[in-house]
Amino acid sequence: MQDKIGVPIEGFAAFSREVAAEGAVLLKNEQQVLPLKKGEKVAIFGRIQYDYYRSGTGSGGSVNVSYTTNLKDSLKETQMLMIDETVDHLYMDWLKAHPFDNGGGGWAAEPWFQQEMPVDKEVIDLASKRNDKAIVVIGRTAGEDQDNLAERGSYYLTEREEGLIKQVSESFRHVIVVLNTSNIIDTSWMMRFKVSGLLYSWHGGMEGGRACSDVLVGKVTPSGKLPDTIAHRLEDYPSNANYGGKAENIYQEDIYVGYRYFETFNKQAVQYPFGYGLSYTTFEWRDELLRYDTNEDRLSFSVTVTNTGSYPGKETVQAYVSLPQGQLGQPARELIGFKKTELLEVGAETTVSFDVSLAALATYDDSGVTGYKSSYVLEAGRYLFYLGRSVRELYELEVEGEPFTLKTTRLVAEQEEALAPVKAFKRIKPGERQANGEYRIAYEDVPTRMVDLQSRITARIPAEIQKVENQCYTLKQVAAGEVSLATFTGQLTDEELAILVRGEGMVSPLVTPGTASAFGGLSDRLVSLGIPVASCADGPSGIRMDSGHKATQVPIGTLLAATFNPELVEALYRFEGKELRQNEIDMLLGPGINIHRHPLNGRNFEYFSEDPLLTGVMAVSNIKGIMASGAHATVKHFACNSQEASRNKVDAVVSERALRQIYLKGFEMAVKNGQVKGIMTAYNPINGHWSASNYDLNTTILRKEWGYRGIVMTDWWAVMNDPVFGGPAAASYTDHMLRAQNDLYMVVNNYGAETNQSNDQTLKGLKTGTLTRAELQRSVQNILSFLMEAPVFNRKQVFRDHVGFIPETSAIEQEVTPLPEHGRVVIQSHASVTIEIKKTATYRLYAEYVSQGEDLSQVATAILLNDVNVATVQANGSTDASIEQKLPKVSLAKGYYQMTFADVKPGVSITAVTFQAL
Ligand code: BGC
């Protein structure tokens, strides 16, 4: 079969354009400044019109694309507008001397903003005479290992950007600002400048430029809604006082994240509310109805929506509840559902219906104040339901007859206390109600841990599978039902079990080039038992192959959430699933589903929203789309990765209620509604226990309570600590990881799963008792079960660590370095050398390198022989001393080869390459 690795799926990029357009959120449109009309004269300002961002940075943004689109060219492509050429030429000339600054291309090196061209007032004045309208494009990025900061050029506009908007809005009558940003940014300047149109186009992937243009010229009527609240001031966000800590952040705002806080305590702090977004057309709603089925305990709402404007468009109907304050205290509004209509032609109407179970509205009582400790309850009192266009524009739904009231508090589900904080702290809750309907902030003590983790863990250690001697059962026999998984596992030695819980990477030569890891049959004997080697790749918005292979880059998570259209997102991820299969990748490392706790988190772009329901629904669409092809999704980062600074140290100190209702909710939905089979734990600790060794997180809640049947992997080079006593963390504590039932350590060096047995605590733990064989077998069984369901199980396994003969070079312009007897070529960093191979043979390559990365950075350099990529050397963190890495085999005929290096992410310096004849 022809190798289809690196060949993007047809139609995928085009579909992603539709999605990117649907996620654009129009926040202001005075005097119908948009859409731009045919023949209108438009001057476009801001360099980002050319250097249009497609994604945030880091692992989630590293897709190699075959092309990208920018806004200026895309607008030109429509042939609808007269784009001012004078302004265009000014920028084009200036850009020659001021190219895009990628910070040198290293990990987390790209700056948040690109320097703007200074534009004279005169130029703008003259342009305003020639043109009807002006567009100003502002761009921002941020990402993994690089949070936004509360400073100009990051969350705030630079002086030059602000000056540009000011000047343009003083000269032009009609100004539209486009925000091509990965996060929400400060828009308080909207109150100062005369801007008539404001559009968040976010980062729309490789087709983002075209998608934005589609919206601006009205090919697409905007229908995106804000997945986050935009406050007037950064300081107004409830987490602001407890964000950015190095050692810990106390989640004092508790469940009052985003609009849950603002609608309850501080409405006037909001500039643009959650769920808000304008359309070019208008919709009328009528016949809002609420029914309550007492037998089934289900609520149904419906509303009829008519397009009464003059453009076709889609409407989003949002449903909210206001729960009785009761003993627990509640936010003023909570999203309980949303639906998007099909495209409604002018005059067309449709009825939108919801069906919600009463149980879904339950609240977790972590203190026992309702009489039901550690349970989901519905408190007595009056329940109010609303349908709306945003959290602010709501219609209260009347029930026929009596308002909806529960006379007594109801127990919905009894759970066991899990993951409660150890540290005492206070959280906020609604206090006295004021005349304006808002509540004063009151504080209460957060319930702390009562359970004895030691006895919980000990009591639940599974039974050990007895050794099955000298058998050679294969995994195929297990899949065929001829042998039980337990018997199969029983034949594995401790050493083999220990190999199975290690993944290798990055860019393992065993699997699809440039991907994040290989796991499963990482020794000859394991392969002989039919255990395949599976592969996973970043994600979330396209496949990352550091080998340079191409893939389709789709819009960022925040944009997807802004579509409020799960069916559309599912369809997009069906393409993603096909692309994964075609590239022989079993799992995508995505979606990222952490909550937008604070606007500055650099990875917010990979995540969906401040709201857990919207997050969970989007996660499920993503997962279902991918799984439709047979490939798998991996939801990450489980849980509470709320900032990038100190991400592998900062403890999330958070109540059990906030965890269950806000931070874990999306994961719960992914498990229960999406049947996801892959989870990646976060780098950070939660309530003193690192996520990857957090027993209550990975076992009590995830497996026991939610019934998860899949694998849990660590984040790359994560650290763990003792699941009972806490204490210091280290990457070698795989015994603690396994005890918590995080199954798989990601990652050890390539070829290291078998050879580095002494580098971690798995085997040592079996001896010292920090781990039992039964626990190790349990994780191995989780992994084996997964592998039997992974595409690789039915795929002819291609081990890619052998590069076949490559053409030799004929023209030799350089001095030749004959390959010495022991085959080691010492390189002056990044020099290119011509080597002479004296004997036709297959050679195993080894590289020695030093790297200058930061903690957890991912840097890589490819080795090319006669322009053929034969290996990629990958490093994380900094290594002053030279380190040796085993690389693939390559067959070379007698002759000359030019060896060069190509940086994938600068930061690795190769100092020597060894060719060992096999
Ligand atoms: C990131 C993960 C990513 C992994 C592999 C880590 O640095 O946190 O999200 O999937 O690397 O690239």
3-state secondary structure 331-394: CCCEEEEEEECCCECCCCEEEEEEEEEHHHHCEEECCCCCCCCCEEEECCEECEEEEECCCCCE
Rounded Cα gap, residues 121 and 163, in angstroms: 10
Distance of CA 315 to the CA centre of its chain: 27
Give the Å distance between the CA of 695 and the centre of ligand 1. 22
Say yes or no to pLDDT of 2 above 60. Answer: no
Two tokens, residue 44: 């476009």
Query: What is the dihedral sign for C-alpha 426, 637, 618, 208?
Result: positive
CATH superfamily of the 802-917 domain: Galactose-binding domain-like (2.60.120.260)
Give the Å distance between the CA of 144 and the centre of ligand 1. 8
Rounded Cα gap, residues 272 and 305, in angstroms: 23
- Torsion angle of C-alpha atoms 231, 49, 555, 684, degrees rounded to 10: -60
To which H or E segment does residue 632 belong?
strand 632-633
- Cβ burial 174-189 (10 Å sphere, 16+ → b, else e): bbbbbbbbbbbbbbeb
Q: Is 429 close to ligand 1, i.e. is its CB under 6 Å away?
A: no
SS (H, E, C) 637-696: EECCCCCCCCCCCCEEECCHHHHHHHHCHHHHHHHHCCCCCEEEECCCEECCEEHHHCHH
Give the Å distance between the CA of 715 and the centre of ligand 1. 6
Which residues have a Cβ under 8 Å from the Cβ of 172 and sit 6 or more positions away? Answer: 43, 124, 127, 128, 131, 133, 134
Task: Kindly give the pairing relationship between strand 133-140 and strand 41-45.
Answer: parallel
Give the Å distance between the CA of 736 and the centre of ligand 1. 21
* Residue nearest atom 8 in ligand 1 by C-alpha distance: 715
Give the pLDDT band of residue 352 (cuts 50, 70, 90). Answer: very high
Q: Is 538 close to ligand 1, i.e. is its CB under 6 Å away?
A: yes
Per-chain mean pLDDT for the chain: 95
Rounded Cα gap, residues 49 and 70, in angstroms: 6
State residue 93's pLDDT score: 98
Name the nearest CA neighbour of 340 among 395, 257, 283. 283
Only one residue has tokens 């019109």, namely: 49
CATH superfamily of the 24-222 domain: Glycoside hydrolase family 3 C-terminal domain (3.40.50.1700)
Rounded Cα gap, residues 225 and 101, in angstroms: 32
Rounded Cα gap, residues 775 and 785, in angstroms: 15
Q: Give how far Cα 614 sits from Cα of 263, 669, 731, 778, 788, Å.
A: 17, 10, 34, 33, 32
pLDDT in tens, 596-609: 999 999 999 999 99
For 468-489, what is the mean pLDDT?
A: 95
Give the Å distance between the CA of 59 and the centre of ligand 1. 6
Name the nearest CA neighbour of 845 among 806, 888, 801, 908. 888
Asked if 216 and 34 count as a contact pair (C-beta separation under 8 A), the reply is yes
Q: Is 715 close to ligand 1, i.e. is its CB under 6 Å away?
A: yes
State residue 811's pLDDT score: 58
Provide the 3-class DSSP secondary structure of residue 382. strand
Say yes or no to pLDDT of 1 above 50. Answer: no
Phi, psi of 109 (to 5 degrees): -100, -20
State residue 46's pLDDT score: 98
* Residue nearest atom 11 in ligand 1 by C-alpha distance: 716
pLDDT in tens, 94-105: 999 999 999 998
For 250-258, what is the mean pLDDT?
A: 98
Provide the 3-class DSSP secondary structure of residue 365. strand
Say yes or no to pLDDT of 180 above 60. Answer: yes
Only one residue has tokens 């003590």, namely: 445
Give the Å distance between the CA of 538 and the centre of ligand 1. 7
The partner residues of 905 in beta bridges, in order of sequence, read: 860
Using most ligand atoms within 8 A of CB, pick from 55, 511, 589, 605 the residue to mutate for ligand 1: 589
Say yes or no to pLDDT of 746 above 80. Answer: yes
DSSP string, 750-779: TTHHHHTGGGSSHHHHHHHTSS-HHHHHHH
Q: Which atom, in ligand 1's list, is nearest to the CA of 683?
A: 8
Q: Is 496 close to ligand 1, i.e. is its CB under 6 Å away?
A: no
Residue 758: other Cβ atoms inside 10 A: 10
Q: Is 716 close to ligand 1, i.e. is its CB under 6 Å away?
A: yes
For 327-340, what is the mean pLDDT?
A: 98
pLDDT in tens, 799-858: 788 888 888 766 566 677 777 667 888 887 677 888 888 889 999 999 999 988 777 889
Q: How many CA atoms lie within 13 A of 518 on its CB side?
A: 28
Q: Is 517 close to ligand 1, i.e. is its CB under 6 Å away?
A: no
Say yes or no to pLDDT of 693 above 60. Answer: yes
* Residue nearest atom 3 in ligand 1 by C-alpha distance: 59
Rounded Cα gap, residues 591 and 570, in angstroms: 12
Rounded Cα gap, residues 550 and 10, in angstroms: 13
CATH 3.40.50.1700: which residues of the chain?
24-222
Q: Is 607 close to ligand 1, i.e. is its CB under 6 Å away?
A: no
Using most ligand atoms within 8 A of CB, pick from 55, 57, 63, 144 the residue to mutate for ligand 1: 144
Give the Å distance between the CA of 857 and the centre of ligand 1. 10
Give the Å distance between the CA of 517 and the centre of ligand 1. 10
Residue 826: other Cβ atoms inside 10 A: 12
Q: Which atom, in ligand 1's list, is nearest to the CA of 647?
A: 8
CATH 2.60.120.260: which residues of the chain?
802-917
Name the nearest CA neighbour of 731 among 720, 715, 723. 720
Give the Å distance between the CA of 93 and the centre of ligand 1. 38
Asked if 549 and 513 count as a contact pair (C-beta separation under 8 A), the reply is yes
The partner residues of 765 in beta bridges, in order of sequence, read: none
pTM: 0.97
State residue 288's pLDDT score: 82
* Residue nearest atom 6 in ligand 1 by C-alpha distance: 716
Rounded Cα gap, residues 542 and 550, in angstroms: 10
Say yes or no to pLDDT of 521 above 80. Answer: yes
To which H or E segment does residue 215 belong?
helix 208-216
Rounded Cα gap, residues 240 and 259, in angstroms: 14
Q: Which atom, in ligand 1's list, is nearest to the CA of 589?
A: 10
Rounded Cα gap, residues 207 and 15, in angstroms: 9
Name the amino acid, one letter, at 150.
A
Residue 480: other Cβ atoms inside 10 A: 9
- What helix, strand, coil percent values describe the chain, rounded to 5? 25, 30, 45
Rounded Cα gap, residues 374 and 413, in angstroms: 9
Q: Is 302 close to ligand 1, i.e. is its CB under 6 Å away?
A: no
Two tokens, residue 448: 């702390």
Say yes or no to pLDDT of 402 above 80. Answer: no
Q: Is 636 close to ligand 1, i.e. is its CB under 6 Å away?
A: yes
Only one residue has tokens 């940014």, namely: 185
Asked if 887 and 918 count as a contact pair (C-beta separation under 8 A), the reply is no
Q: Is 588 close to ligand 1, i.e. is its CB under 6 Å away?
A: no
Q: Is 589 close to ligand 1, i.e. is its CB under 6 Å away?
A: yes
Give the Å distance between the CA of 734 and the centre of ligand 1. 18
Asked if 183 and 237 count as a contact pair (C-beta separation under 8 A), the reply is no
Say yes or no to pLDDT of 415 above 80. Answer: yes
Say yes or no to pLDDT of 615 above 90. Answer: yes
Using most ligand atoms within 8 A of CB, pick from 594, 715, 858 the residue to mutate for ligand 1: 715
Provide the 3-class DSSP secondary structure of residue 113. coil
Q: Is 606 close to ligand 1, i.e. is its CB under 6 Å away?
A: no
* Residue nearest atom 7 in ligand 1 by C-alpha distance: 716
Radius of gyration for the alpha carbons in the chain, expressed in angstroms and rounded: 28
* Active centre residues (catalytic): 715
Q: Which atom, in ligand 1's list, is nearest to the CA of 505?
A: 5
Two tokens, residue 623: 């997962």
Name the amino acid, one letter, at 691.
S
First to last CA, the chain: 28
Q: Is 722 close to ligand 1, i.e. is its CB under 6 Å away?
A: no
pLDDT-wise least confident of 42-46, 336-340, 884-888: 884-888
State residue 810's pLDDT score: 62
State residue 400's pLDDT score: 67
Give the pLDDT band of residue 508 (cuts 50, 70, 90). Answer: very high
pLDDT in tens, 548-574: 999 999 999 999 999 999 999 999 999
Rounded Cα gap, residues 390 and 36, in angstroms: 26
Give the Å distance between the CA of 680 and the centre of ligand 1. 9
pLDDT in tens, 211-239: 999 999 999 999 999 999 999 999 999 99
Q: Give how far Cα 27 sits from Cα of 18, 193, 226, 271, 563, Å.
A: 20, 15, 9, 10, 14
Q: Is 905 close to ligand 1, i.e. is its CB under 6 Å away?
A: no
Q: Is 516 close to ligand 1, i.e. is its CB under 6 Å away?
A: yes
Say yes or no to pLDDT of 117 above 70. Answer: yes
